Amino acid sequence: MTFKKALLFIIIILAIDQISKVYIKTNFRLQESVEIFSWFRILFVENDGMAWGAKLSDFFTFMSDKTAKVILTVFRIIAVTGIGIW
């Protein structure tokens, strides 16, 4: 696979991921699900933390949840920008 094809594939997957997240967030109620196939179901849940529900404030107890979310959001923006520039 050439670099351009790989990049296009990644962009398409990311676009599908983000579009589906926005659609589900704006059109589903919490815990609502839809069966796509007998073995595949989409379920709307919210995760307050990072992976497995961990929160940055769990590791840095002096930090509030709101401050931790702002820090993680800024980190994500910087990381995505850096990857995009690279």
**What's residue 66's pLDDT?**
81
Is residue 57 classed as helix, strand or coil in its secondary structure?
A: helix
Instruction: Judge if pTM exceeds 0.85.
Output: no
Exposure of 63 by Cβ count < 10 A (0-12 exposed, 13-18 middle, 19+ buried)?
A: middle
Residue 65 in tokens: 């949840």
Task: Give residue-wise pLDDT tens across range 12-53.
Answer: 998 999 999 899 989 999 999 999 999 999 999 887 666 666
User: For 72, phi and psi rounded to 5 degrees?
Assistant: -65, -40
**What's residue 65's pLDDT?**
77
**What's residue 63's pLDDT?**
77
**CB-CB contact of 53 with 47 (8 Å):** yes
Say yes or no to pLDDT of 57 above 90: no
Angle at CA of residue 47, ends 45 and 53, nearest 5°? 135
**What's residue 19's pLDDT?**
93
